[in-house]
């Protein structure tokens, strides 16, 4: 097992705490529902109802019912203008802010991929059918921009922090957490909102289906008979703060972000480098950033999309770098929420640390021959966790890893 040298950083780099989080996903609305679903290993993938899938191989996805988002309308002055993903962001941000009174962010960093793509689809179809008035067109175009759901969420709670949007394929959510971490660690900021969002879009759904990356069967991360991913949706927010400043104001510290690593393998537009070099470099970078060895990681929330190439490459990198660490992908339960995945899985990693358990990798039967991963198969289990690593790897070979650790008292 290789030793990771200490990071090259300023001797007085700030420590970064997580003081609150909020989440909306197919697993549930809020932290309590999400935790219950994780403990049960609940399969929250269901037949797609938002748009027709008659001509698609894949007919299922992880979905958030519109009825569950209705509470967001009471929190915004103009609820009739809200895109459904803005409602997700409002609920996630509201849950996080409610846990951290006195948290006033100086910056917001959010990852996403398709943004308001569903509004773009509707706008195009209305134009084609001659149904879009100029008034309707303005609303559709306004909601198409990727910063709009973030702006809506901030407006709902009187937050006026500048917003940075990261669109870096499926690594976006983890990039957002990592960038926010670096902003505070550098001393430039004290408090940053970090997270991600994405909503199911017919264009994206059909695109993945056309690539045959989606499966008509169950999503089986790391299973030797895996046949592809299913898509999901959701939003998640983490409130990051200078650790000493948070302690100084009496805030509860849920965990500490201690490392962040990125890489780009430039192997293929949609396939990872089969050697796993990109994934390994991102994880090594995170370990170096944290100044810890691979042996100190207690659990890995893997990217684990259940596509043949991704799981093989990521699994190879994990086996080469770690020795028997517990690994699971939670995407089998909720689908792959693209730009939101890293943020959602960051919150899941936080819940695992807070509640001392390993989230399950459902639908698992047997792993790849010659790839001895310690998969948390099918059922959650209690564990003593201090340090967890969360991976997000995207199309084009864009890779990101972030490390969370419990805070010593």
Catalytic positions: 170, 303, 336
Measured CA distances, 52 to 179, 202, 211, 230 (Å): 38, 8, 18, 16
Q: What is the dihedral of CA 73, 75, 78, 81, to 10 degrees?
A: -50
Q: Is the dihedral of CA 291, 293, 297, 301 positive or negative?
A: positive
Q: Is the dihedral of CA 395, 66, 343, 45 positive or negative?
A: negative
Block residue for tokens 């991913």: 229
- Please answer whether residues 279 and 400 qualify as being in contact, where contact means their C-beta atoms are separated by less than 8 angstroms: no
Q: Is the dihedral of CA 383, 311, 168, 70 positive or negative?
A: negative
Q: What is the pLDDT of residue 137?
A: 66
Going from the N-terminus, what domains does the chain have, and what CATH number goes with each?
Answer: 17-405 (3.40.47.10)
Strands (E), 200-297: 234-242, 255-264
Q: What is the pTM of this model?
A: 0.93
Q: What is the pLDDT of residue 265?
A: 86
Q: What is the pLDDT of residue 326?
A: 98
Q: Which one-letter DSSP state was computed for residue 64?
A: -
Question: In terms of DSSP bridges, do strands 191-198 and 107-111 run parallel, antiparallel, or are they unpaired?
Answer: parallel
**Is residue 327 classed as helix, strand or coil in its secondary structure?**
strand
CB-neighbour burial class of residue 250 (10 A; exposed 0-12, middle 13-18, buried 19+):
exposed
With a CB cutoff of 8 Å and minimum separation 6, the contacts of 81 are 139, 142, 143, 152
Of 360, 365, 364, 398, whose CA–CA distance to 380 is shortest? 360
With a CB cutoff of 8 Å and minimum separation 6, the contacts of 263 are 278, 279, 281, 282, 285, 397, 399
Taking the C-alpha atoms of residue 296 and residue 307, their distance in angstroms, rounded to an integer, is 28
Of 220, 240, 245, 242, whose CA–CA distance to 230 is shortest? 220
- Please answer whether residues 33 and 188 qualify as being in contact, where contact means their C-beta atoms are separated by less than 8 angstroms: no
Phi/psi for 206 (5° steps) reads -65, -35
Phi/psi for 137 (5° steps) reads -60, -40
- Please answer whether residues 170 and 278 qualify as being in contact, where contact means their C-beta atoms are separated by less than 8 angstroms: no
Token pair of 298, please?
A: 């207690």
In the predicted model, residues of the chain with pLDDT beneath 50 are 1-9
Task: Write b or e for each residue in 313-348: b if 16 or more Cβ atoms lie within 10 A of its Cβ, otherwise e.
Answer: bbbbbbbbbbeebbbbbbbbbbbbbbbbbbbbbbbb
Radius of gyration in angstroms for the set of CA atoms belonging to the chain, rounded to a whole number: 20
Of 154, 198, 201, whose CA–CA distance to 176 is shortest? 198
């Amino acid at each position: 097992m290789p030793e990771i040298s200490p990071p090259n950083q300023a001797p007085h780099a700030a420590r970064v705490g997580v003081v609150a989080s909020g989440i909306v996903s197919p697993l549930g609305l809020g932290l309590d529902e999400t935790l219950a679903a994780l403990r049960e290993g609940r399969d929250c993938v269901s037949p797609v109802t938002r748009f027709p899938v008659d001509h698609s191989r894949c007919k299922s996805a992880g979905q958030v019912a519109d009825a569950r988002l209705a509470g967001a309308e009471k929190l915004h002055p103009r609820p009739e203008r809200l895109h459904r993903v803005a409602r997700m962001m409002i609920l996630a941000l509201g849950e996080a802010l409610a846990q951290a009174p006195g948290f006033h962010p100086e910056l917001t960093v959010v990852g996403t991929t398709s943004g308001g793509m569903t509004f773009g689809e509707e706008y195009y179809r209305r134009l084609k059918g001659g149904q879009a008035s100029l008034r309707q067109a303005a609303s559709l175009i306004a909601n198409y921009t990727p910063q709009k759901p973030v702006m809506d969420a901030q407006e709902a709670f009187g937050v006026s922090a500048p917003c940075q949007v990261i669109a870096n394929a499926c690594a976006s959510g983890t990039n957002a957490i990592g960038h926010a971490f670096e902003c505070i660690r550098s001393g430039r900021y004290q408090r940053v909102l970090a997270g991600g969002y994405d909503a199911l879009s017919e264009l994206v759904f059909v695109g993945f289906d056309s690539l045959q990356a989606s499966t008509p069967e169950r999503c089986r991360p790391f299973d030797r008979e895996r046949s592809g991913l299913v898509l999901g949706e959701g939003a998640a927010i983490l409130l990051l703060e200078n650790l000493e400043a948070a302690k100084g104001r009496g805030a509860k510290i849920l965990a500490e972000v201690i490392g962040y690593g990125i890489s780009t393998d430039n192997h293929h537009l949609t396939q990872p480098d089969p050697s796993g070099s990109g994934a390994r470099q991102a994880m090594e970078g995170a370990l170096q950033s944290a100044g810890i060895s691979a042996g100190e990681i207690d659990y890995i929330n893997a990217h684990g999309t259940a596509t043949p190439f991704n799981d093989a490459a990521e699994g190879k990198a994990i086996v080469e770098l770690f020795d028997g660490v517990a690994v699971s992908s939670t995407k089998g339960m909720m689908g792959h929420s693209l730009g939101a995945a890293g943020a959602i899985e960051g919150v899941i990693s936080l819940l695992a640390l807070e509640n001392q358990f390993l989230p399950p990798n459902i639908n698992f039967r047997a792993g790849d021959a010659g790839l001895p991963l310690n998969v948390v198969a099918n059922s959650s289990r209690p564990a003593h966790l201090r340090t967890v690593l969360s991976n997000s790897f995207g199309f084009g070979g864009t890779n990101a890893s972030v490390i969370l650790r419990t805070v010593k008292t």
